[in-house]
Amino acid sequence: MNGDTRLPVAVLISGTGSNLKALLEASAAGAAYRVVTVLSNRPEAGGLAHAAAAGVPATVIDHRRHPDRESFDRALLEALAPHAPQLVVLAGFMRVLTPLFVRRWAGRLLNIHPSLLPAWRGLDTHRRVLAAGERRHGASVHFVTEGLDEGPVIVQAEVPVEDGDDEARLAARVHTVEHRIYPLAVDWFGRGWLRQDGDRVWFRGRILDRPLRYPDDEAAWHAP
């Protein structure tokens, strides 16, 4: 975008791209970032259509064509370089990144995870939550570190687990809040409000003693 000085962001996807769509819509509505490129490890990823519709250049780097994780991550780094993003956002990117990539983007790498971290790290969170009989679930936006889903958490949103829920119903409820909190967190980064400091998060000049909660803590990000 010529003349657009907002934070340039790269988004990595593997699937339908519903969070990418939410990020693109928030950017179009004036959030403090712009998506400059989309990368997918799967040529069939539905999210590539969202990039095309928004006029955002997209690249497919098929992980199956690389002999190991590090060579794949090197290809990701090479593909990102021409777009000069200042933040990399994982939006349903189903690959575990190597230390090579994480260290390169340390402090500038975000992920959204479908649970109230630190609970339920890893895959199949909806199934595991239902199997455990939990009554609460949700989503978390966090900085990415070398430990899987272990980076400091920025913001969370909780949803109830309702009687009669199956994985699809529960996942749909979680997706609704994901689409709200992820654009918020990326906007905060674009405004210069967020900073990672080891295992801590600075937000608007102070260290968070706990993750922000959506919508309970809205006053914190609407305050002058």
**Active-site residue list:** 113
Both structure tokens of 209: 């003693």
- The answer to whether residues 113 and 142 touch, using CB atoms and an 8 Å cutoff, is yes
Strands 153-160 and 212-214, how do they pair? Answer: parallel
What letter represents residue 57's amino acid?
P
Both structure tokens of 1: 């975008």
Closest CA to 92 of 77, 108, 67, 111: 111
Alpha-carbon distance of 211 to 89, in angstroms, equals 18
For the chain, percent helix, then strand, then coil, each to nearest 5? Answer: 35, 25, 40
Q: Which residues pair with 201 in a beta bridge?
A: 196
Alpha-carbon distance of 190 to 5, in angstroms, equals 10
Alpha-carbon distance of 112 to 140, in angstroms, equals 6
